[in-house]
Amino acid sequence: MKLRRTLLSLMAAAALGTLALTASAETYKAEYKLSMVLNTSTPWGQAGKIWADLVKERTQGRINIKLYPGVSLIQGDQTREFSALRQGVIDMAVGSTINWSPQVKELNLFSLPFLMPDYAALDALTQGDVGKKIFATLDKAGVVPLAWGENGYREVTNSKRPIKSPEDLKGMKIRVVGSPIYSDMFSAMGANPTQMSWADAQPALSSGAVDGQENPLYLFQVLKMHTVGQKFITTWGYVADPLIFVVNKEIWGSWTPADQAIVRQAATDAGKQEIALARKGLVEADKPLLKDIAAVGNVTITQLSAAEREAFVKATRPVYNKWKNTVGADLVNTAERAIAARHK
């Protein structure tokens, strides 16, 4: 009798487990919408593709993800992406810390001018206590953060002259992204910053209405910026733009714990692959990406000396100090300590 009761109990437990899986499976959508700014010809776009492919394979098709580049789910308005994600208009995203910083002020950390002098500094933040604190903040803000990716260090280009000092920027019209800290930084260096979308920036650069812009170097090639008058590049590494893999909280809660674990690990794996793609050609000793860019369209590349870079650091320090309180002094102090202790 005891054996019979044990067998019946095991059968009942198995049946309940099957019912639970079935009930959970019924809550799964046929397709999940993943938002990104850039398409799959870029490392950013590849981040979404790799993630989607890994999830489909590892869940055996239970979770199917469709990519929506160009933030097309919100008519191309990058600044609305985080809000749309929280509201459920978007299910998943690989998003930019810059684009989400108006809604999550702590993300402005990565836009503090000249905070991160190298990739080791960036890694010290995203992979350490700072990254954990930011993920906790995002969780409280209404999304589930899973892993880090990277859009890269942002470098400045223009059609006028080499930029070696803040004086070279004086009066120059520079297209910047929509976050206010960028206007503050370029104003501090004497430039005339203009916020506009990239769709508007391209004709403005072509016509000369705008002199320059700032973006990761891989985009110089992808967008063929030498064809819109960008003949001078300065590599100054003034800010970097980490990417974050996130899921809407309601969507996350609809998946089984096993599938949640699969999606999280897939995001981590995709992030590592994407970071390698974003840094390709820039971490090697001879920086082949710079050679490739210089060879196309007779582009002049200026790499700042330590003394030249320090002049920009000094010019933007008031902006750093102003925004330190906006970001949160404790978080910035933690970041500064992590960078000082990094292994170069």
Distance from C-alpha of 44 to C-alpha of 266, rounded to nearest angstrom: 15
Task: Say if residue 245's pLDDT is above 70.
Answer: yes
Give me the phi and psi of 283, to 5 degrees please: -95, -15
Task: Say if residue 210's pLDDT is above 90.
Answer: yes
Distance from C-alpha of 190 to C-alpha of 65, rounded to nearest angstrom: 45
* 107 Cβ contact list (under 8 Å, min separation 6): 97, 98, 100, 101, 134
Contact of 91 with 33, CB cutoff 8 Å: yes
pLDDT recorded at residue 333: 98
Structure tokens belonging to residue 92 = 């998943």
Contact of 151 with 110, CB cutoff 8 Å: no
Contact of 157 with 235, CB cutoff 8 Å: no
Task: Say if residue 41's pLDDT is above 70.
Answer: yes
Structure tokens belonging to residue 70 = 């160009």
- Token pair 């810390």 in the structure block, residue: 97
Distance from C-alpha of 78 to C-alpha of 141, rounded to nearest angstrom: 18
The DSSP secondary structure of 116-162, one letter per residue, reads: --SHHHHHHHHTSHHHHHHHHHHHHTTEEEEEEEEEEEEEEEESS--
Contact of 73 with 106, CB cutoff 8 Å: no
Decide: helix, strand or coil at residue 90. coil
Q: Which CATH number fits domain 29-340: 1.10.10.10, 3.10.310.30, 3.40.50.11540, 3.40.190.170?
A: 3.40.190.170
β-bridge mates for residue 145, sequence order = 246
Contact of 190 with 212, CB cutoff 8 Å: no
pLDDT tens-digit series, residues 58-100: 999 999 999 999 999 998 888 899 999 999 999 999 999 999 9
**Out of 101-110, 144-153, 287-296, which region has the weakest mean confidence (pLDDT)?**
287-296
Quick count: other Cβ atoms within 10 Å of Cβ 64?
14
pLDDT recorded at residue 195: 93
Structure tokens belonging to residue 263 = 């999606």
Segments making up each domain of the chain, as ranges: 29-340
Identify the band that residue 262 occupies on the pLDDT scale cut at 50, 70 and 90.
very high
pLDDT tens-digit series, residues 107-120: 999 999 999 999 99
Greater confidence, 35 or 199? Answer: 35
- Across 179-330, the runs of DSSP E, i.e. the strands, are 192-195, 212-216, 232-248, 300-303
Between the two ends of the chain, the Cα-to-Cα distance in Å is 68
Contact of 76 with 197, CB cutoff 8 Å: yes
pLDDT recorded at residue 25: 54
| pLDDT averaged over every residue in the chain | 92
pLDDT tens-digit series, residues 278-321: 999 999 999 999 999 998 878 999 999 999 999 999 999 999 99
pLDDT recorded at residue 77: 87
Mean pLDDT of 216-221: 94
